[in-house]
């Protein structure tokens, strides 16, 4: 089966076309600046076919241009759009309504719409993507795969905040987590690499990118995760502050009169590594500045290391026993120095990594040293493949 995976943002549309016989990516690319000046790229096995400015007044036009490229006589990878067996959509917020991936129906669409209150930045554009797809590919089944469903198995003591129940009951205030598709993919892949049944394993998965989260996976299911009601909770991130004393918000408000929305915006877009280093939210810039002796860059980097170590330590304590630790996403896959510094501190719980094996980027590799009690892996994440696999399974069972 051929499956198109679509990830729609407010002004972008990422796509990948999979041949599920061998999980090969036939083509992929990105439409960006939709509704603005428009830009699109298209890549196949042969490399980048085009990367150009193009009029993209709305997501519908972008979707049509994706189909046109995929079926183009000269550089297309399929001859007709009817070859696409299904479309899988990434949805960020599945909230309290969705516990698994679903075939798109009117009811499912209405559910995603209802959840726009708790996913205001991501769910509205995802709905636009679903509708654009339905128009361009009428009759092709669609599936939605949510970033949050993997975390729905958290026990109540992890899922809820210690505030009066009425806020959870009336307003659905609870921890939903994020990056669930990535945590699921890398934890399943880790079990596969270990030749073990996920049900027998406790794994701590570290998705460290611009946005970062760490998850405690117990017996193949999420037990706890660092992100909360929104992706602001947890680790120190590129531009997000992560967990802080919540009264910081009211205190800043009382001192400055700054509206709460602006304070949230500051904590989301102008905080984290960017704020502390005063240089950049990009880990590479910070590492470079730290090496040049910049003190604030050093503090930013240490804060990142501290938060990664704290969550791994906390989850090891919660799980009681850890079989494996996995690093993934931009920083997790590429930053050997961070992995080494984090793992060096975990020696007390039996983690020992092989520094030579660790000295690599973006490869799927086990970096466990001989004699280590816990195995450590770098596993490049592949959320798109996970979405395609869910899509195939649901459509074949229709």
DSSP SS3 for 328: strand
Cross-strand partners of 324: 203, 375
Instruction: Return the number of other C-beta atoms located less than 10 Å from residue 42's C-beta.
Output: 24
- How far apart are the C-alpha atoms of 151 and 319, rounded to whole Å? 16
Give residue for tokens 């917020």: 93
- Helix, coil or strand: residue 343: helix
Bridging pattern class, strands 47-53 and 39-44: antiparallel
Which stretch in 38-46, 87-95, 104-112, 278-286 sits in contact with ligand ADP by CB under 6 A?
Answer: 278-286
Contact letters for ligand ADP, residues 127-156 (x by CB under 6 A): ------------------------------
Closer of 9 and 238 to ligand ADP (Cβ) = 238
Question: Which of 282, 302, 318, 340 touches ligand ADP (CB under 6 A)?
Answer: 282
* Nearest approach, Cβ of residue 52 and ligand ADP (Å): 23
Q: Is 330 in the site for ligand ADP (CB under 6 A)?
A: yes
370-385 burial, b if ≥16 CB within 10 A, otherwise e? eebebbbbbbbbbbbb
Answer yes or no: are the C-beta atoms of 5 and 66 closer than 8 Å: no
Residue 271 CB, nearest approach to ligand ADP (Å): 15
The residue from 9, 142, 198, 209 that contacts ligand ADP (CB under 6 A) is 209
CA distance 338 to 61: 42
Q: Quickly tell me which residue has 């759009």 as its tokens.
A: 81
Which stretch, 47-55, 207-215, 290-298, 309-317, contacts ligand ADP (CB under 6 A)? 207-215
Catalytic (active site) residue 147? yes
Between 38 and 209, whose beta carbon lies closer to ligand ADP? 209
Buried/exposed 183-207: b ≥16 CB within 10 Å, e otherwise: bbbbbbbbbebbeeebeebbbbbbb
Could you say whether residue 234 binds ligand ADP (CB under 6 A)? no
Stretch that binds ligand ADP, among 72-80, 134-142, 206-214, 260-268 (CB under 6 A): 206-214
- Using DSSP's 3-state secondary structure scheme, residue 12 falls into coil
Min CB(239)–ligand ADP separation in Å: 10
Question: Binding to ligand ADP (CB under 6 A): which residues in 283-312?
Answer: 283-284
Which one is catalytic: 147, 323, 335, 390? 147
Helix (H) or strand (E) holding 315: helix 295-319
Q: Which is nearer to ligand ADP, 177 or 330 (CB)?
A: 330
The smaller minimum CB distance to ligand ADP, of residues 111 and 330, is found at 330
> CB nearest ligand ADP: which residue?
330
Left (φ > 0), alpha (ψ -120 to 50) or beta: where does 209 sit?
beta
Nearer to ligand ADP, 78 or 286 (CB): 286
What is the number of residues in the chain?
A: 398
User: What single-letter DSSP state applies at residue 286?
Assistant: H
Please pick, from the candidates 142, 238, 242, 272, the single residue that binds ligand ADP as defined by CB under 6 A.
Answer: 238
**Piece of the chain touching ligand ADP by CB under 6 A; list 57-65, 157-165, 316-324, 330-338:** 330-338
Given 88, 125, 198, 211, the residue binding ligand ADP (CB under 6 A): 211
Residue numbers 332-361 binding ligand ADP by CB under 6 A: 334-335, 361
Q: Which residues pair with 369 in a beta bridge?
A: none
Cβ atoms 249, 260 nearer than 8 A: yes
Tell me: does residue 231 bind ligand ADP (CB under 6 A). no
Q: Are 87 and 3 in contact (CB under 8 A)?
A: yes
Which residue ranges make up the site for ligand ADP (CB under 6 A)?
209-211, 238, 282-284, 329-331, 334-335, 361
Q: Which residues are catalytic?
A: 147
């Amino acid at each position: 089966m051929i499956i198109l995976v679509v990830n729609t943002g407010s002004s972008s549309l990422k796509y990948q076309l999979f041949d599920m016989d061998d999980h090969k990516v036939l083509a992929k690319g990105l439409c960006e600046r939709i509704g603005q000046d428009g830009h699109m790229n298209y890549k196949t096995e042969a490399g980048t076919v085009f990367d150009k400015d193009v009029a993209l007044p709305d997501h519908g036009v972008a979707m049509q241009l994706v189909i046109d490229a995929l079926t183009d006589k000269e550089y297309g990878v399929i001859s007709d759009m009817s070859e696409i067996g299904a479309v899988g959509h990434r949805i960020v917020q599945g909230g309290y309504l969705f516990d698994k991936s679903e075939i798109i129906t009117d009811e499912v669409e209405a559910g995603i719409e209802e959840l726009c209150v708790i996913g205001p930045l991501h769910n509205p554009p995802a709905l636009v993507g679903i509708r654009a797809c339905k128009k361009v590919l009428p009759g092709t089944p669609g599936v939605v795969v949510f970033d949050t469903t993997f975390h729905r198995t958290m026990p109540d003591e992890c899922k809820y905040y210690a505030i009066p129940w009425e806020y959870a009951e009336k307003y659905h205030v609870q921890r939903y987590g994020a990056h669930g598709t990535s945590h699921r993919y890398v934890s399943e892949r880790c079990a596969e690499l270990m030749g073990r049944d996920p049900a027998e394993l406790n794994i701590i998965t570290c998705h460290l990118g611009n946005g970062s989260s760490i998850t405690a996976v117990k017996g193949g299911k999420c037990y706890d995760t660092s992100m909360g009601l929104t992706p602001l909770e947890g680790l120190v991130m590129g531009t997000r502050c992560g967990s802080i004393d919540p009264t910081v918000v009211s205190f800043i408000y009382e001192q400055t009169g700054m509206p709460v929305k602006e304070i949230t915006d500051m904590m989301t877009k102008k905080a984290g590594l960017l704020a502390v280093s005063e240089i950049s939210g990009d880990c590479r810039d910070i590492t470079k500045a730290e090496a040049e002796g910049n003190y604030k860059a050093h503090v930013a980097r240490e804060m990142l290391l501290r938060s990664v170590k704290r969550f791994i330590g906390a989850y090891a304590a919660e799980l009681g026993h850890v079989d494996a630790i996995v690093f993934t996403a931009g920083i997790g896959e590429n930053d050997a120095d961070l992995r080494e510094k984090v793992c060096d501190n975990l020696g007390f719980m039996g983690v020992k990594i092989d520094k030579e094996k660790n000295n690599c980027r973006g490869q799927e590799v086990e970096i466990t040293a001989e004699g280590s009690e816990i195995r450590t892996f770098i596993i490049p994440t592949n959320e798109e493949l996970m979405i395609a696999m869910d899509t195939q399974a649901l459509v074949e069972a229709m």
